[in-house]
C-alpha cells in the first residue's frame, strides 16, 4: 500500500480577495472545503457560489482549473488540501504562465 502526503491550509479571504490566479496543477490534486461564508468558485464550466459544507475536488490537469474568490461583504473561510508530490507544475491559463515547484 502506498501513501500520499497531504498539505493542509486554512484560508480566510476578505471581500475582494482571491486565493490566487486561475490555475491548475500537473502532478498534484486539490480539494476545497468551505468552512464559512459564500466564496465564488471559477472553474472550467463557469462560476458558482459555494456554501458552508461544500466540498469540491480539483483533479490534476486542465479539468481541475480553478480560482476561489470572495465576492461578498463578509469573509469566506476555506480549508485546502493538496497532495504534496514534488516537483509539480502550476499552469495559469489566463496568462499562459507555467511555474515549476520543486
Res. 75: pLDDT tops 90: yes
Task: List the CATH number of the domain containing 19.
Answer: 2.60.120.10
Nearest one of 65, 71, 78 to 17, comparing CA atoms? 71
Total domains, the chain = 1
Reported confidence tier of residue 84, pLDDT bands at 50, 70, 90: confident
Q: What is the pTM of this model?
A: 0.91
Is residue 1 a part of any domain in this protein? no
**CA-to-CA distance for 99 and 23, rounded, in angstroms?**
10
The tens digit of pLDDT for each residue in 35-70 reads 999 999 999 999 999 999 999 999 999 999 999 999
Is residue 48 a part of any domain in this protein? yes
What is the extent of the structural domain holding 29? 6-101
Is residue 45 a part of any domain in this protein? yes
Is residue 93 a part of any domain in this protein? yes
**Cα end-to-end span (Å), the chain:** 25
Is residue 75 a part of any domain in this protein? yes
Is residue 54 a part of any domain in this protein? yes
Amino acid at each position: 500500500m502506498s501513501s500520499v502526503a497531504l498539505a493542509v491550509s486554512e484560508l480566510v479571504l476578505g471581500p475582494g480577495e482571491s486565493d490566487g490566479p486561475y490555475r491548475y496543477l500537473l502532478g498534484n490534486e486539490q480539494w476545497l472545503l468551505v468552512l464559512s461564508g459564500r466564496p465564488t468558485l471559477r472553474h472550467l464550466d463557469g462560476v458558482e457560489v459555494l456554501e458552508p459544507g461544500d466540498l469540491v475536488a480539483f483533479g490534476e490537469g486542465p479539468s481541475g482549473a480553478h480560482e476561489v474568490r470572495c465576492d461578498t461583504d463578509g469573509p469566506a473561510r476555506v480549508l485546502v488540501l493538496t497532495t504534496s508530490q514534488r516537483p509539480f507544475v502550476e499552469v495559469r491559463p489566463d496568462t499562459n504562465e507555467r511555474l515549476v515547484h520543486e
